[in-house]
Structure 1
């Protein structure tokens, strides 16, 4: 069961944006997120807005999805043009899901072509797709690379069959080295996504997963703690006592182990859950995600996708909106010429400040102390004394989490946002 959409104000039928989104837009980057809502099976822990391919038909079918997404891309370009936003080439594109590579590689290429036609791609643009290890071939990866994709992020999750079974992942972990090699041979950068804290996962299991990922030589690894969301199959299994969640200490130990192994292999953390290698002087961090965390603009294409446009106008610091969740309704609204948005909210100064602190503190570059309120700045010293914030960085005017602080990032954020 996917999470409910946020509550918000009604979205205009024509998608019109307020005039103040143009304030400072020329200085903000612009990215595009493309959501593909299909999966072969629905994993028990997942609460994303996804559907098995056989659940939907009509205008929401897999075969017609790329065409539907292209219609929203054209709609988005028209909305931005009517708002008077300055022409900006797309700096990053991220295709997520779901399992985007369930679509034919040619359909993903068509969607990227639509982005290119609507806005243009900036020189050196980063173009990523997520993929399951069992949803690609050497040929399909080459098609993506030839179309302009630069990066693929594989949902590895674990190298241990029993852990994958608990997560209800369908791929064979022995396939991981092959898909990484195929992607690299096609000229793509590669990231591997891992999950720790699966019920029944031992510390040795987790070590095997991290070491297996590192053995492929990838330049980027994401490691996320499993969060069991209400409404999922796994939440019901936990509630019935069929699965036991790990302790917070177990989660912390696994995070520290990952950090030790990844750092020793030459990957540095740049966000609490992400590590990347620097190759030929260029960090291999995911630039699309960094754009989210740094407050750039983006348009989310697809059912349930969220979008954001900032503003430098005082009192109106940005606007966020989100599309209807169900693919059939999404397709119907676009087909009738309507905005697929379900609702939206305007961010005031206080809301924007909260998000800036929450997101900025998660980054290795940290947060300029001048962003904090005077009372929050006074509390920085306490967090330095408790070894949650780096003392040397604080002396130079930045709040940077220590490793201990990364484990307690939410606590630090709450304290520094009044």
Structure 2
């Protein structure tokens, strides 16, 4: 990675032709959830030399460097994730947004999202975020079942997420999303049904639902290795997904990506759509990944190293790769097949597509019109379908 973060001329020249977004990683958490392997740190894990109060300055320093490297026509989306971004003061989150606007310019109607844990926001902080320009809030709910929250090491109470939704609406957030995790050991069908009922009753316009993945190195994985908890079961995960699709579609949500549902097209997460459709984005913060014009790079992981690199006038980039045409095609298939709109049949391996069609995994009408689109059964087996559609 060049010390100044520079990109090949051909990559930088075409930046933003398919949209441009900014991801800002906030690596702080009040406590570590047992299933989480994200690049996040509690105060105890960070040690000395890194403080939340000075972190926005490091973000702004990377922004200043990035603005010298690429000049997109506008920023279409901003997504602040973590970690728990709302552990930062709303004023600091506003300052970061102002820095993005000053560096590149926010498009009129830009989607500005921040993630939050339910216990990390208040009516006052939500009003401050809305005033600062944030338009969309994504809350990590995961479940309303106390036993499930306990297994996941979540700190909020069962009803706090839906309360936070109401407070976000009162603060003026038009778009609010809730995240669910299903398949947690000990979760019953009734537990998940209650979570779905709570999500729908909360009045959000977007829902993400993900099967629990047990990542190596997490506290949850260690408990399972010791036999304290059973491993998740694929059949249970499939049943939960079918329950989510049935409940959410009956409530007026439509799936637009395998794990995401929205009440209307304008409620879809435009930032994630940028990822899934091959757009460009600059990822800011420790461990953040970026993609511009077929070049992908990633930052150093530790916040202290990240801040020191920038203080020394160096890019925080740790490494990068220039994607070959074959790699770009593979990623296009892997991502676009997961979307409700699908991918052109001419972009996939014909034999695999015919096999998936005969197995009932692809929509026949769409295929006849030249498109590969997953059926409901295909969504359950999306990874296997994608493998068959690749050369």
Instruction: Tell me the TM-score range normalised by the shorter chain.
Output: over 0.9
- Per the TM alignment, residue 12 of structure 1 is displaced from its structure 2 partner at its CA by 1.0
2:286 matched to which residue of 1? 303
In the alignment of these two chains, the number of paired residues is: 390
Per the TM alignment, residue 133 of structure 1 is displaced from its structure 2 partner at its CA by: 0.4
**CA pair 59-331 structure 1, distance change in 2 beyond 3 A:** farther
Please name the residue that 2:106 is paired with. Answer: 121
TM-score, scaled relative to structure 2 = 0.98
Which residue of 37, 41, 57 maps to 2:27? 37
User: Residue 12 of structure 2 contacts residue 69 of structure 2 at CA under 8 Å; is this kept in 1?
Assistant: no
Compute the displacement of 1:160 (Å).
0.5
Show the counterpart of 1:398. 371
Confirm or deny: 8 A CA contact 1:323 1:343 kept in the other structure.
Answer: yes
Quick one: structure 1 residues 211 and 153, their matched pair in 2 at CA, closer, same or farther if it must change by over 3 Å? same
In structure 1, what is the Cα distance between the partners aligned to 2:313 and 2:192?
Answer: 49
Partner of 2:357: 384
Tell me which residue corresponds to 1:4: none
- 1:242 match: 228
Tell me if 1:19 matches 2:2.
no
2:259 & 2:306 partners in 1: Cα distance?
32
User: 2: distance between equivalents of 1:382 and 1:29?
Assistant: 34
Partner of 1:56: 46
Could you say what secondary structure the match of 2:159 adopts? helix
* Structure 1 segments (4+ residues) deviating >2 Å: 22-27, 53-60
Alpha-carbon distance in structure 1 between the residues aligned to 2:163 and 2:85: 19
Shift of 1:378: 3.1
Distance in 2 (CA, whole Å) between partners of 1:271 and 1:344 is 28
Whether 1:191 and 2:177 are equivalent positions in the alignment is yes
Structure 2: gaps (5+ residues): none
Q: Distance in 1 between matches of 2:12 and 2:318?
A: 23
User: Of the candidates 332, 338, 355, which is equivalent to residue 362 of structure 1?
Assistant: 338
Instruction: Show the counterpart of 1:353.
Output: 329
**8 Å Cα contact 2:185/2:231 also seen in 1:** yes
TM-superposed deviation, 1:29? 0.5
- The verdict on how the C-alpha distance between 1:79 and 1:26 changes in structure 2, with shifts beyond 3 A counting, is closer
- Aligned-residue CA RMSD (Å): 1.1
CA distance in 1, matches of 2:317, 2:214: 28
TM-score, structure 1 as length reference: 0.91
Q: Which runs of 5+ in 1 are unaligned?
A: 1-10, 311-317
CA distance in 1, matches of 2:19, 2:255: 23
Higher alpha-carbon deviation: 195-204 or 21-30: 21-30
Match of 1:331 among 296, 307, 330: 307
- Deviation, structure 1 residue 122: 0.4
Describe the SS at the equivalent of 2:65: helix
- Out of 182, 199, 203, which is 2:189 matched to? 203
Q: Which residue of 1 aligns with 2:238?
A: 252
- 1:252-311 Cα distance to aligned partner (Å, 9 max, x none): 000000000000000000000000001xxx43100000000000000000000000012x
Deviation of 1:79 after TM superposition, in Å, equals: 1.6
Correspondence for 1:161 among 134, 142, 146: 146
- Per-residue deviation at 1:186? 1.4
Q: In structure 1, what is the equivalent of residue 259 of structure 2?
A: 273
Please tell me whether the aligned partners of residues 4 and 65 of structure 2 are also in contact (alpha carbons under 8 angstroms).
no
2:204 aligned to which of 218, 234, 244: 218
Say whether the 8 Å CA contact 2:58–2:307 is kept in structure 1. Answer: yes
What's the secondary structure of 1:75's corresponding residue? helix
Match of 2:59 in 1: 69
